[in-house]
Amino acid sequence: MPSEVTGSLSPLEESMGRAAASADWFVHDRFGMFIHWGLYALPARHEWMRYFEETPDDVYHRYFQHFDPDLYDPEHWAAMAADAGMKYVVITSKHHDGFCLWDSKLTDYKATNTPAGRDLLKPLVEAFRARGLRVGFYHSLLDWHHPHFLIDENHPLRNHPDRDKLNKARDQKQYTEYLHGQARELLTDFGRIDIMFYDFSYPRRDEQGRPQPWLGKGREEWESEKLLQMTRELQPHILVNDRLDLIEQGGWDYRTPEQYVPREGVTMDGKPVLWEACHTFSGSWGYHRDETTWKSADQLVQLLSDTVSKGGNLLLNVGPTARGEFDHRAVERLQVMGEWMSRHSRAVYGCTRAPDEFTSPRDCRLTHDPEKRRLYVHVFAWPFKHLHLDGMAGKVKYAQLLHDGSEVKMIEGGPGDVAGPVEQQERAGLLTLELPIRKPEVTVPVVEVFLK
């Protein structure tokens, strides 16, 4: 979170405070669905496919001409997200290819002009809201389709022989105006929006610190401060991610580690900040037919436990198909996660990193509900019979397995009577939980510990 501010505040700083005050739901809910859906679902080989293959506009156009998601059922998507225990959704209004899912007044490059023939975003927003999920937009700062977006090193035409000539005819300012105009539409026409996930900045500056927009782009090119201010004016409670190139300026509400697990909770200047890790089921965000590196359901549940144990949120991505369905591999995994969440959400919602006085037993993660004063031990590798909680003797009222509410017996000190002097010393303050021999039939078993 932006550093503490004293004295007079700039409008940007003032609005940051307001947003931070409305972050309670975000910290409570912990688990959201990311959706990457657009024309790249047709080639089905990564949402950056146009970049990798350096595809010219006229060739990429074939996907625009064939985008016909006849099986699209946003109510069903929302049901799958809710059943998985997800509490919010962040959907790509536009990705880097520039294609818009909604009926933007500022472009023809939108779903209404494809065989889909309709606004695909509005019904999604309505369906998820009807299920009680909060709604956020992922909006790409890059745009590979817009005629005034200066071709840079992240552009499909970066190696085009006439690149410099093409760039001469481009006026980045006009693109920036379009970007702001579209953000205004998204933040005006869809009711309450809780998250804006702008993506992304890659500033390049010369030795004098001057921006080099034909190489990279950042806060100067996007006019990020202005964009952020407008975002907050239109939706004062909104949370904005950290990719506008305004990190040092404090123009962000939460950090977004992508496709990796931070070792500890995320901090800035030594203080914990809001953060949300985003992950794919496999490597690509858009639907990728032939990708095989899918995480197992066990890994995904562990990812959620691990993230919350470090005080973060998990935004887990689905890349729906060109017909408008969730990939069966995603459906299977969401079901396992939902099954787990149906009995373990208490160890996720309202939970965070446990205070330092509690040390996690080996192969476990701790989450903590400070309001209910409960500690949750997520057991990643089932031990033989005993789980040792150091320094916890005398601090616990009761313990149970969370999935079935069955008592877990507690022994003060360690089990057995064969102990040397070292072990005896270590037993001071030790609380040992007595587990069943067999691991329960649960993806990640959790022991619920009621603190005194």
**C-alpha span between 405 and 427 (Å, rounded):** 27
How are strands ordered across the β-sheet holding 276-280?
239-240, 195-199, 134-140, 88-94, 31-35, 313-318, 276-280
Least separation in angstroms between residue 197's CB and ligand GLC is: 7
Kindly tell me which of 96 and 333 has the beta carbon lying closer to ligand GLC. Answer: 96
Least separation in angstroms between residue 143's CB and ligand GLC is: 12
Instruction: Output the CA angle 88-179-182, nearest 5 degrees.
Output: 60
Kindly tell me which of 291 and 369 has the beta carbon lying closer to ligand GLC. Answer: 291
Kindly tell me which of 48 and 109 has the beta carbon lying closer to ligand GLC. Answer: 48
The residues near 98 (Cβ < 8 Å, ≥ 6 apart) are 107, 109, 140, 143, 144, 145, 146, 149
**What ranges in 70-132 are assigned the alpha helix state H?**
74-83, 121-130
Kindly tell me which of 103 and 258 has the beta carbon lying closer to ligand GLC. Answer: 258
The residues near 191 (Cβ < 8 Å, ≥ 6 apart) are 125, 129
* Amino acid (one-letter) located at 357: E
Binding site for ligand GLC (CB under 6 A): 36, 47-48, 199-200, 258, 278, 285
Least separation in angstroms between residue 32's CB and ligand GLC is: 12
Contact call for residues 287 and 326 (beta carbons, < 8 A): no
Least separation in angstroms between residue 196's CB and ligand GLC is: 13
Contact call for residues 240 and 228 (beta carbons, < 8 A): yes
Kindly tell me which of 92 and 432 has the beta carbon lying closer to ligand GLC. Answer: 92
Kindly tell me which of 286 and 350 has the beta carbon lying closer to ligand GLC. Answer: 286
Least separation in angstroms between residue 238's CB and ligand GLC is: 18
Least separation in angstroms between residue 251's CB and ligand GLC is: 18
Of 34, 32, 143, 131, the residue nearest 91 (C-alpha): 34
Integer angstrom CA distances of residue 320 from 34, 160, 197, 424: 11, 31, 19, 57
